[in-house]
Amino acid sequence: MLTSNISKSFSIVTILLVLQAFYYTTKAQNCGCSSDLCCSRFGFCGNTSDYCGVGCQQGPCFAPPPANDVSVAEIVTQDFFNGIINQAASSCAGVGFYSRGAFLEALESYSRFGRIGSADDSRREIASFFAHVTHETGHFCYIEEINGASNDYCDENATQYPCNPNKGYFGRGPIQLSWNFNYGPAGSAIGFDGLNAPETVATDPVISFKTALWFWTNNVQPVLSQGFGATIRAINGALECDGANSATVQARVRYYTDYCRIFGVDRGNNLTC
């Protein structure tokens, strides 16, 4: 998902295929679960948090924790946003694309972002999100992954989200959404054709931010209590964690630490992965 990672190793492909194989060999496909089982966000039946937690589509889904009254807009001020994007060169495509207004409009569809737990928890979550966004996009410079079109991000085992052979599912947007198994469900949740028009993430700034918030709330928000290091693992773990690329891990930590300082909140424990 990193803009700076031009090529993907065989190891990450293998890991992703294994994960996909797990999702596609569980009890049932595309829901149709019995009344005592949950339908997960991937369309399979079960009764654990993987099925009944975040993204649960139907059944005895776990109730989410209550949202607090934190105003994300009051934390993500124009000055804060400008402090990030002003570090990008004026020639960067993202300078004319990303904006605080687009972020706040996208945020209207994700009312739980930055509003779980205490006020300090909210500030840490927002700092974490923008730390990753800053790193992934080079201070909002990049909309698309560098040389992303030359890489194959089609997982043919993800048969629920078949690839269009004429489209590329490389990194786009603030979190650099990648792979057909992300574009497909993101498009369904947000309301665009992720499989047949993935380029929408690079042409519509509100949808672009929505994909980042969709990925965040489904894949990153559930591990926030484990510390910033867990968020790195959720986003790009196989390429960076466990010594794979300590320099990029430390870069993310520096951004996070800086934003926590700006927001006046302790950064917490377990910063690396």
Active site residues: 136
Distance CA(214)–CA(206), nearest Å, equals: 12
Contact 154/184 with Cβ under 8 angstroms?
A: no
Residues linked to residue 45 through DSSP beta bridges, in sequence order: 39
Backbone angles phi, psi at 232, to 5 degrees: -65, -45
